[in-house]
Each structure stands twice: as C-alpha cells, then as structure tokens.
Amino acid sequence: MATLNLVQAINLALQQEMAKDDRVIILGEDVGPNGGVFRVTEGLHAQFGDARVIDTPLAESGIIGTAIGMAMNGLRPVPEIQFDGFLGPAYDQIVNHAARSRSRSRGAVTVPLTIRVPVGGGIHAPELHSDSPEAIYAHSPGIKVVMPTTPYDAKGLLISAIRDPDPVIFFEPKRVYRSFREEVPEDEYTIPIGEAKVVSEGDDLTVVTWGASLFQCIEALDNAPDDVSIELIDLRTIDPFDMDTVAASVEKTGRCVVVHEAAMTCGLGAEISSRVQERCFLHLLAPVQRVTGFDTLMPYYKLENEYLVNANRVGMAIRETLAY
C-alpha cells in the first residue's frame, strides 16, 4: 500500500474519479499545467487535457457560478478556490445559488458540486490566506461542509463529495498538506459524509476537534497523565456533523472539550456545546469547554503561533474539566 501525504491522497482521489467518470471536471486558478499553487492537481492536466482541467480567468464568483451551471446541466465540477479568504467573492454564488437551487426548483434543478478549498493558518501566509470559515458555511442551509485531516480520510471523503448529489465545500487543512504520510489504499473506497471518527478511545473525557488542530489535541493527549483516559473525536464532516458519535462518547465520559482553530464567537464549538447540553445534560460532570481562536483576524506570521490553538491550552482545558 502506498504511503501518501494529504496532497497526494487528494490528487489520487481526483485522478481516479476523473478516470472513472468523464463528467468530473476540474476548474480554477492555476490548476492546469501548474498543478495548483499547492500542486494538488499536479499531473491531471497532462492526463485529462484542457477540456477537463480548466485554467480559468481570475474570478472566484465566475469559477463557482460557472461550475454551478455545469453541475445543473449534467457535469460533476470540482472547482478549486485557491485560498480560504478567496471564498469571499464567491459567497453570493455559493449561498444564494448553489445552496438554494434544489429547494428553489423543488428538486428539479440540483447542483452536484464539490468546492475544494485549502483552509486555515500556520504556513506564514499573508492575510486572506489563513482563514477558517467553516462555520459560516455550516450556518448556511443547503450546503454540506467537510474537513478531513488525514490522507486516508481525505481520499474517501473526496470521492463521497464528488458523488454526492448536492453541493459540498471540501476544506483541506493546508498546514497538514505535507506534514505527515500514512497508508492510503490504491483501491477505491468511500467514507460517508456525516460520520465522525473516534481517533482514540477513552472513558474520562471527550475531546472533539477537526482540521489541523487534531495534531495539537493528540499532543495534549500524549502529555496527559497516564491514569487519565481520553476519547478523541475527529469530526471530519462539519455539516451535517455526527452528533450521535459525540453524544455517545459524552454520555460515556461525562466531560467534553471542543477544540477549533476558527474564532470563538458563533464558531462550531458553540453549536456542539449547545447540542451536548441538550442531549447529554444528565450525563455531564462538568461544563463543556471550548478551546478556540480569538475573535480577531489571523495575525501576521510573527504572531501566528500565538493565535493558533496549542497543546498547552488544550491540556489546561482537559485538566480543568477533569478537576471540575
């Protein structure tokens, strides 16, 4: 079995879906001969040609709007938006058109579209290149939001997203792109959208996270006392998120810490925390804690690591919640 990083696993999923289904089309800025600024579409232009791997004009609203039209008319477009902050100009097309078309037409006009977007901070990029906007799109009805973190999950979830009958935003934590490798089967497989993964099992406390913060959580778990048993959940899908897995875990452990890189206010941590108290109130031994980014913009690189959630803060939250 090949050992791949996140970039390679996503590339493999794209390559296999394109080979299998000629309705799958890639479009975006620099995705062609250059293979995308992160090289995620490397080699696909050479294999599938100009008609299926399209270097578009520089216009995010244009990329998504055109992809919506393709999707409405029988294709399976997989547009790439170069950076998280560049979703802004496409927001109108995503929220007001892609997400509403099925409802607006009572199911007659659907938009099977997968928007790939590198997400998050930690690569010393300038502004608009380090945002975590997943909650904005989770809050918008009619669009699914996925954020795999490991190469194995990314391949399986991307194939599911491409085959999904509705629009999906597929966030790729760019800090993880080349940070580690794992075994990824060459054979085709899917991971259902909406299923969380229990990364490690435990009885005393549940940590819920997603995206690049997964690794700070693993570090915090490694640093936790040996007599403490912590369950770590990688949500993988942001919307619709897997509340059953979270609730089953919290009912077992009675304690929950939610960790995310995005800003705190109206972040997904608020939603999870609220649902946990609705579903698991009588099981709770401590209030749910959130470890999150600040309600500020991502600072420039010299302060970037001050913004990003670290294992120290996660470890504190674990200790406080256990001691409550």
**Cα radius of gyration (the chain):** 19
Helix axes 151-163, 6-20, angle to 10 degrees: 30
Task: Kindly state whether residue 297 participates in binding another protein, applying the rule CB under 8 A.
Answer: yes
Task: Kindly state whether residue 207 participates in binding another protein, applying the rule CB under 8 A.
Answer: no
Based on the number of CB atoms within 10 Å of its own CB, is 119 exposed (0-12), middle (13-18) or buried (19 or more)?
buried
| Between 147 and 317, CB nearer to another protein | 317
3-state helix, strand, coil in the chain (%, to 5): 40, 20, 40
Pair type for strands 53-55 and 24-28? parallel
Task: Kindly state whether residue 182 participates in binding another protein, applying the rule CB under 8 A.
Answer: no
> Among candidates 269, 267, 291, which has minimal Cα distance to 217?
291
Task: Kindly state whether residue 88 participates in binding another protein, applying the rule CB under 8 A.
Answer: no
Q: Which stretch binds another protein (CB under 8 A): 6-14, 67-75, 151-159, 315-323?
A: 315-323
Alpha helices in 117-241 (DSSP H): 134-138, 151-163, 213-223
- Ranges assigned E (strand) in the chain: 2-4, 24-28, 53-55, 76-80, 114-119, 144-146, 168-173, 182-184, 197-200, 205-209, 230-234, 237-239, 256-263, 289-293
Q: Which stretch binds another protein (CB under 8 A): 134-142, 207-215, 245-253, 302-310?
A: 302-310
# chain residues binding another protein, by CB under 8 A: 39
Task: Kindly state whether residue 296 participates in binding another protein, applying the rule CB under 8 A.
Answer: yes
> Which 3 state secondary structure label does DSSP give 188?
coil
> Among candidates 191, 172, 195, which has minimal Cα distance to 8?
172
User: Is 260 annotated as catalytic?
Assistant: no
Residue from the set 15, 23, 37, 254 that interacts with another protein by CB under 8 A: 37
Catalytic option among 45, 97, 129, 260: 129
Q: Which stretch binds another protein (CB under 8 A): 138-146, 168-176, 206-214, 290-298?
A: 290-298
> Which 3 state secondary structure label does DSSP give 61?
helix
Q: Report, in Å, the least distance between residue 105 CB and another protein.
A: 25
Task: Kindly state whether residue 314 participates in binding another protein, applying the rule CB under 8 A.
Answer: yes
Q: How far is CA 48 from CA 19, 24, 42, in A?
A: 8, 10, 11
| Between 155 and 290, CB nearer to another protein | 290
Cα 258 to Cα 292: distance, rounded to the nearest angstrom: 8
Task: Kindly state whether residue 98 participates in binding another protein, applying the rule CB under 8 A.
Answer: no
Task: Kindly state whether residue 230 participates in binding another protein, applying the rule CB under 8 A.
Answer: no
Residues 56-85 that bind another protein (CB under 8 A): 56-62
Task: Kindly state whether residue 277 participates in binding another protein, applying the rule CB under 8 A.
Answer: no
Task: Kindly state whether residue 299 participates in binding another protein, applying the rule CB under 8 A.
Answer: yes
Task: Kindly state whether residue 155 participates in binding another protein, applying the rule CB under 8 A.
Answer: no
Known catalytic residues are: 129
The residues binding another protein (CB under 8 A) are: 29-30, 32-35, 37, 55-62, 89, 257, 264-265, 289-292, 294-297, 299-300, 302-303, 306-307, 312-314, 316-317, 320
